[in-house]
Chains A and B, each alone.
Chain A
Amino acid sequence: MSAPVLIGYFEHEAQVLAATRAVREAGHDLRDVYTPYAVHGLDDAMGLKPSRLTWVCFGAGLLGCTLALSLQLYTSVVSWPLNVGGKPFNSFPAFIPVTFELTVLFAALSTVAAFLVRARLFPGKKLQTLPRVTDDRFAIVIAPRQSPESLEAAEDLLRRHGAVATDLKEVGP
């Protein structure tokens, strides 16, 4: 078990944005922010780096494209050349639809898979959920440094920014 985390609950979007920014500026270790819906500007406030998922998508698309082209080229030119309607064996335009489909398929499935792996979401996983954050509340989770003073300071900061409740909770890794 790791050290307990500090959770602050908020009622309003604007408060949670300001508090998130303040937590980061005060140097606390911001773990995550939970909101019932996507809040515009939260990425900025949390200081999140641009998602790297796009690179997975691009790479997988490129891989799908290459695989599709090389498979078609190999089967219809090298391995088993067939004369279809007098067309050349290497009939590039005819390969495009399959290439397009495989590119999209690889890109889409890999992106979803990469997201699930990265977020450690898999069937049967036990999740800890904070009360009401999927309904009408916002929560900021801070991993405070070990000293009691820093815990107190963080709690005070959350309260000042309008936290309606704070809580200490043991969480899994």
Chain B
Amino acid sequence: MSAPVEAASTESQGGFAVSPVFHRAAQVAAGAGLGVLVLGLVQAPERALTSLLTSGFYFLCLGLGGAVFLALMYVANAGWFTVFKRIPEAFASYVPWGAVTLLALLPFVTTLYPWAKPGVMETDHLLHEKAAFLNVPFFAIRMGVMLAVWVGFTWMLRRNSLRQDVERGEPLTRKNVTVSAVFLVLFSLTFCLAAFDWLMSLEPHWFSTIYALYNVAGLLSSSVCAITVVAVLLHRAGALPRLNSSHLHDLGKLMFGFATLWAYLWFSQFMLIWYANIPEETVYFIARMHGGWEVPFYVNVVLNWALPFVLLLPRPAKMNPNHLLRVAGVLLVGRWLDLQLMVAPAHQPEGLTVGVYELAGLVGVGALFTLAVTRAVRTSPMLPVGDPYLVESLHHHT
């Protein structure tokens, strides 16, 4: 191995120490947020559960997105991302925590999902027809299996990479390529199910076959944004000195691409339903394009595509860390609004409400995510010194 790697390995012995104040604040935020949510379960159960589902899914997607990002890079034999690979790995380490936030919904399935309400199957013919799939035991089994698959594979990806710091060399990369390939296949199947089960079945009469893919686009776009934000912040804090403008350029290109993919799929879903104009399909958009949801409906497209598209179009924009932070912020807010639009109208048809319970979910689960990520960053060395692709990544030039 050449000199830069040796020099690099000495400049990042051990992990990055997050300031104790920040750590404490995150713990307090997690406790307070989740505490308010528990209170909400008594006060306004449907709102609290909607909030937990939205925030839980949002951050679980960021965690999963980290793992999917890694897996895509491994199967593509990519090397450029190696210098900041510990960030998606840190995201992946959140998946077990995220799994717990979703498992916490299980006892309240009958409150959250209309198809699970007692007696509804007897009076609703359409739901009765779907009863073989939409029933509580099968729902719980599916959730358990999906979460177990995700926890297992994300754990393997991260463990192999951390072991490579000690063992060094190619075999563990090869192993992760295999793990990634299997994970990507299982992920696409399980994530489709997850989107159908947890989000789409909130309005169980309605269906859209592109819904899962549309959610994958949101997952990719938001996780690339989160990776960029953390990478820039760690670089500023001095923990990632080897991150250069070419790495940012590529992250910016992915951000641009995935935002556009999201818009493509969003429009594909919208236009087909709008064009066919069949009542059983349009019911979803009628609830969102009129009344209190009308403004968020249009703002959603602006935040998730129009604004990022224009802001990321020039080449220098994709290399400027400040600019990337702003655009990533827009997209991350956009993803949250997008999920709100998918989830909340089922229980809050009157319009978007951002109150204490919504914020509690966002802050509480967000703090959990922050704790998991900082823990992973703290406990593992920032540079994967055993990765054979590290040299290529250090000299990455677009």
Task: Give A residues with C-beta under 8 Å from B.
Answer: 40-41, 50, 54, 58, 85-87, 93-94, 96-97
Contacts and interface: CB of A to CB of B under 8 A. Distances in A.
A58 B397 contact: no
B182 interface: no
B270 interface: yes
Contact of A54 (B267, B270, B271, B315): B315
Contact of B314 (A40, A41, A54, A96): A54
Contacts of B270: 93
The 5 closest A-B pairs by CB, nearest first: A40-B397, A93-B271, A93-B274, A96-B267, A94-B275
Contact of A50 (B274, B277, B313, B315): B315
Interface in B145-184: none
Contact of A96 (B271, B277, B313, B315): B271
Contacts of B275: 93-94
B260 to A, nearest CB: 11
Contacts of A40: 397
Interface string B387-398: 000000000010
Given A58-B313, A93-B270, A85 B277 contact: yes
- The B contact surface, by secondary structure, is helix
A71 B275 CA distance: 20
A100 to B, nearest CB: 9
Interface residues of B, number: 11
B278 to A, nearest CB: 11
Contacts of A93: 267, 270-271, 274-275
A58 B313 CA distance: 9
Contacts of A54: 314-315
Nearest to A40: B397
Nearest to B275: A94
Q: Which of A40, A41, A58 has the most CB of B within 10 A?
A: A40
Contacts of B313: 58
Contacts of A50: 315-316
Contacts of A87: 277
Contacts, number: 20
Nearest to A41: B397
Contacts of B267: 93, 96
Contacts of A85: 277
Contacts of A94: 271, 275
13 contacts: A40-B397, A41-B397, A54-B314, A54-B315, A58-B313, A87-B277, A93-B271, A93-B274, A93-B275, A94-B275, A96-B267, A96-B271, A97-B271
A4 B340 CA distance: 69
Interface in B68-88: none
A129 B153 CA distance: 55
A59 to B, nearest CB: 12
A74 B161 CA distance: 59
Contacts of B315: 50, 54
A153 to B, nearest CB: 32
Nearest to B267: A96
Contacts of B277: 85-87
A41 B316 CA distance: 16
Interface string B263-288: 00001001100110100000000000
Contacts of A58: 313
A114 to B, nearest CB: 17
A93 B274 CA distance: 8
B372 to A, nearest CB: 37
Contacts of B271: 93-94, 96-97
A171 B277 CA distance: 67
B257 to A, nearest CB: 14
A50 B316 CA distance: 10
Interface in B293-323: 313-316
Interface in B229-282: 267, 270-271, 274-275, 277
Contacts of A41: 397
A68 to B, nearest CB: 15
A144 to B, nearest CB: 32
B253 to A, nearest CB: 14
A85 B111 CA distance: 40
A77 to B, nearest CB: 18
A96 B266 CA distance: 13
Nearest to B274: A93
A97 B271 CA distance: 10
Contacts of A96: 267, 271
Given A58-B313, A86-B277, 12 more contacts: A40-B397, A41-B397, A50-B315, A50-B316, A54-B314, A93-B267, A93-B270, A93-B271, A94-B271, A94-B275, A96-B271, A97-B271
Contacts of A86: 277
Nearest to B272: A93
Nearest to A51: B315
B363 to A, nearest CB: 37
A85 B275 CA distance: 9
